[in-house]
Amino acid sequence: MSLYFTKEHEWIRVEGDTATVGISQHAQHALGDIVFAEAPDVGKTLDKGQEAAVVESVKAASDVYSPVSGEVTEANPAIADDPSIINSDPEGEGWFFKLRLADPAELDGLMDEASYRDWSSKL
């Protein structure tokens, strides 16, 4: 199992050929109180960098981009029912969707956890 991050503050946790995607602790803190989240439909094919989900805080709307290409296999119903779990547990219970990787080589361009934490702490 490996964890990667993007410069747009998504995380992606890879297990075999499937991966789980969400937004980082840093991202939820910057957004503030989250009041709405919408995950992509199961079966949808996403390109790397494509808008995949929407998250809205009291202050603003943001897009969540897919860190890699693949087909959506599962959407988290809990974030629609109670978006505040994205604030309380962004890198756990507050995940957005799972996808089947189209090209595992795309992971190579992402940041590992240590690099991301270091980089985002300086923003």
Residues paired with residue 46 on neighbouring β-strands, in sequence order: 70
Complex with another protein: residue 42 or 80, whichever CB lies closer: 80
CB 56 to another protein: min, Å:
6
Q: Which residue type, as a one-letter code, is found at position 33? A: D
d(CA 85, CA 70): 25
Subset of residues 21 to 40 that bind another protein, contact rule: CB under 8 A: 32-33, 35-36, 38
d(CA 72, CA 51): 13
Q: Does 3 bind another protein (CB under 8 A)?
A: no
How many residues of this chain bind another protein (CB under 8 A)?
A: 13
Show Cβ contacts of residue 83 under 8 Å, excluding neighbours closer than 6 positions. Answer: 34, 35, 36, 37, 55
Complex with another protein: residue 81 or 108, whichever CB lies closer: 81
Subset of residues 43 to 72 that bind another protein, contact rule: CB under 8 A: 54, 56-59, 61
Complex with another protein: residue 7 or 59, whichever CB lies closer: 59
